[in-house]
Amino acid sequence: MRLQNLAMPLGLIAVAAFFALRLDRGALFGDEAFVFLGPRNLTQLIVEFSIIGTLALGMFMILLTGQIDLSVGSGVGLIGGVAAVLVFQQDWPAAAAMGAALGVAIMLWTLMGTLIVRQRIPSFIITLGGLLIFKGLFWLVIQNSTVPVSRGDQSNLYSLLTTYYLPTYMGLGLALAVGALLAVIAWHSRAARRRHGLPVRPFGTEFALWIGVSAATLALVIICNHFRGVPLTLIVLSGTAAMVYFLTRHTPFGRYLYAIGGNEEAALLSGVAVNRVLIGAYLLMGVTVALTGFMTTAYSGAATTTVGDLMELDAIAACVIGGTALKGGRGSVGGVIFGALIMTTLLNGMTLLAVAPETKFIARGVVLTLAVWMDVGFGRAKT
């Protein structure tokens, strides 16, 4: 476990250092501007990271139960396309269109979850079918054409998801608020553990962790402010991560997710409503697919036939890199966020290097394979 915890930060540092040396060599000696480490690219990287991270958080809850969802990439395109068509072709108000698309996502993923638990059909088969069905429906919805997401006043709410940046003062205020909130949470957590006679970390270690996280948050805001400010997508990701963390760590529903993934039969015998929990996990997956669909379509500037392609693999890879077990029962929100950051950095760096598409596919496949191999290896080591 210690090796696994070190592998993520070391892997991220190695990937970032590689691209920085390849792209920013001249800037390091003052000859030219930064490319990879520049505020513009780092801000855009945060937008891309927020999109992948939001989808990965939904996948995380599915994987915790030992299930899987291969349909989310097609679902991202479909839900984003439904909202885009309603707004820019049917002249719906953006809020109403996005609400309707969210309802469609909840209905579809609840239906898939119900089929999986009621009919005892493997999730791999149901979601693989969903991948094909949603892709076909997506192409029908947009009529195999391109639906721009940048026309008229109706586009504001939709396109602002990836084009709005917080003002400088709001970003700095948010960083200070995050630091204060983390301090309060850490204090209450230590007090609660002491009341129950549980061990706590030394105060110096706790304080150093708080300083490190707070400083990293402030540095992130300062870097973003050198471009346009903190992107709205990061706020969406932060809110989603906070909700998923609360659900998985501080509610019976979250404990049931871990219990089902650890041993479904034992959870059932213990009185856990396994079917309802699994359906709930898929319902929440639909919510994150909708959020990701809106952001991805807005970031692409249009709903096209390629939106969402292979995003399910990126989400799964982010979870597994972050320590989530494919067999279920193990994982954390922090690990998923770290895994998503590694995947995003890799994809962003390859894009800046103008890597050929076929090489990108190979690299993503290698990363996914290595992630699964590590998951199997750590699982064996644990047993």
Q: What's the confidence (pLDDT) of residue 154?
A: 46
In a domain, 133, yes or no: yes
In a domain, 196, yes or no: no
φ/ψ of 231, rounded to 5, equals -70, 150
> Could you identify the residue written with the tokens 């586009």?
155
> Could you identify the residue written with the tokens 């698309």?
101
> Could you identify the residue written with the tokens 């400083």?
215
In a domain, 208, yes or no: no
77 contacts 292 by C-beta, under 8 angstroms: no
> Could you identify the residue written with the tokens 């199997």?
376
DSSP alpha helices (H): ranges in the chain?
Answer: 2-23, 25-28, 39-64, 72-88, 94-118, 123-142, 155-163, 168-195, 203-225, 232-250, 252-262, 264-269, 274-300, 311-321, 333-352, 357-382
Q: How many domains does the chain have?
A: 1
φ/ψ of 235, rounded to 5, equals -65, -40
Q: Is 302 helix (H, G, I), strand (E, B) or coil?
A: strand
CATH of the domain at 51: 1.10.3470
In a domain, 214, yes or no: no
For 126-130, the CB contacts below 8 A with 24+ separation are 127/68, 127/69, 127/70, 127/71, 128/70, 128/71, 129/71, 130/69, 130/70, 130/71, 130/74, 130/75
Of 93, 2, 81, nearest to 304 by C-alpha is 81
24/34 Cα distance (integer angstroms)? 5
In a domain, 210, yes or no: no
In a domain, 203, yes or no: no
- Residue type present at position 85: V
Structure letter (DSSP) for residue 230: S
3-state secondary structure 171-202: HHHHHHHHHHHHHHHHHHHHHHHHHCCCCCCC
215/292 Cα distance (integer angstroms)? 28
In a domain, 43, yes or no: yes
Structural domain containing residue 22: 2-164+231-382
39 contacts 226 by C-beta, under 8 angstroms: yes
Q: What's the confidence (pLDDT) of residue 59?
A: 96
Instruction: Please spell the DSSP secondary structure of 49-103, one letter per residue.
Output: HHHHHHHHHHHHHHHHTT---S-HHHHHHHHHHHHHHHHHTS---HHHHHHHHHH
The pair of structure tokens assigned to 125 is: 């088969």
Q: What's the confidence (pLDDT) of residue 50?
A: 95
For the entire predicted model, the pTM comes to: 0.92
Spell out the per-residue pLDDT of the chain, length 383, in tens.
566 667 778 888 888 889 988 887 766 666 666 788 888 999 999 999 999 999 999 999 999 999 999 999 999 999 999 999 999 888 888 889 999 999 999 999 999 999 999 988 999 999 999 999 999 999 999 999 999 887 555 446 788 888 889 999 999 999 999 999 989 988 888 888 888 888 888 888 888 889 988 998 999 999 999 998 999 999 999 999 999 999 999 899 999 999 999 998 999 989 999 999 999 999 999 999 999 999 999 999 899 999 999 899 999 999 988 889 888 888 899 889 999 999 999 999 999 988 888 888 898 888 888 877 776 666 655 55
In a domain, 190, yes or no: no
